[in-house]
Amino acid sequence: MSDTNPADHDGPHEGPIRTTKQLVVAVVASFVVPIVAIILLVNYVDFGNKTGPGSDGLGAEAVAKRLQRVGSVEIRDASAPAVLRVGDAVYAAQCAACHAAGVAGAPKFGDAAAWAPRISTGYEALLTSVLKGKGAMAAQGGGEFSDVELGRAVVHLVNNAGGKMDEPKVPVAPPAATAASAPN
């Protein structure tokens, strides 16, 4: 019997790497080739704009819509003179949402039959309804518009429904307080 141990074999080593240069090239290639393959795969997967299946939730318009401002801050000079808006501008900004379409029983703009019983109550009753609210209409007083501006909107609504009301007068500010007495 003969024992054949591979370690005892005196023949030359057989394999693909025979020189130091081949060894260095093999080691470098074993690191570089997988890295290049990974980079190529990432570029292949990430190539072009892709959207989710059946959804445009990540589209530029959808993202911009979600990122809109919710509100804004407006800084005003409290001592600046107030500029009162006219009735049709106040109506367009505050009243038209309901009165243009007759939402929740609101009398439609220009509907003389619907406005006639309300006009007969007079300007003060109509203005009180606007300021304090009535039925489905929430109170409008204390909001963005002053009482005079809301009164102008009431007159605009009434006059377009066949009524004849004059615009409310702008209240005159009392004169500035003068010194009570000058020291002697």
pLDDT top residue among 77 and 2: 77
pLDDT, the chain, mean? 78
Q: Which amino acid is at 25?
A: V
What's residue 148's pLDDT? 83
Q: What's the CATH architecture for 87-159?
A: Orthogonal Bundle (1.10)
Q: Given this model, what pLDDT does residue 17 score? A: 84
Residue 104: which residues within 8 A CB-CB, separation 6 or more?
A: 98, 135, 136, 137
pLDDT at 121 over 90: no
* C-alpha closest to that of 90 among 130, 61, 42: 130
Q: How confident is the model at residue 9 (pLDDT cuts 50, 70, 90)?
A: low
